[in-house]
Amino acid sequence: MKLPSRLFISISLASIGVVFIVLGLLPRSGENDLSRIQEIISRHIDTEVHTPQSLPKLIVFGADYCPHCRRMTPILRELKEQYISQLHVDYVNVKNKPDMGKQYRIHALPTLIFLDASSRKLFRHEGFMSKEQILVKWKELGFNLLYGDISYQ
């Protein structure tokens, strides 16, 4: 028996959606999308700031209730993906890890801390920073990050 094409497509899409939900790639109904995205990023980013010694680090302290932190979420994801072999990006949700917030004396959100490969603090910024501002700051600090084969100017 041959299924009508619309029914077949509907069943296929529903099946794919169920698989994504089971794998945790899509939010379930009722979940806060931003919290889910930050949770996924946190799972893939070492929030304890232990990284290979050869990479500089950007630690961003934020919280899901902070609008500027939410604006930075896609920026951090892009930096992590595009500069994966040159830069380690950490996102620390101070609501979930208040001890780290105290350790780094976080008083405003978001707070960005730029560290060299040996975890020495190079620069600290309180407030939102665009991707371009972050890349320019790295260049000012002496790190010429490359995207593909092109140096960021």
Alpha carbons 47 and 93: distance in angstroms, whole number: 9
Amino acid code (one letter) for 44? H
Burial, 136: exposed, middle or buried (Cβ in 10 Å; 0-12, 13-18, 19+)?
Answer: middle
Instruction: Express each pLDDT in 106-135 by its tens digit.
Output: 999 999 999 999 999 999 999 999 999 999
pTM, entire model:
0.64
What residues have CB less than 8 Å from 75, skipping those under 6 apart? Answer: 129, 130, 131, 134
Confirm if 87 and 55 have CB atoms less than 8 A apart.
Answer: yes
Instruction: Express each pLDDT in 74-96 by its tens digit.
Output: 999 999 999 999 999 999 999 99
Show the DSSP H helices in 24-149 as ranges.
33-44, 67-82, 98-103, 131-140
For each of the domains in the chain, give its residue range(s) and CATH number, in order of start.
1-31 (no CATH), 33-151 (3.40.30.10)
Alpha carbons 85 and 146: distance in angstroms, whole number: 10
Alpha carbons 20 and 16: distance in angstroms, whole number: 6
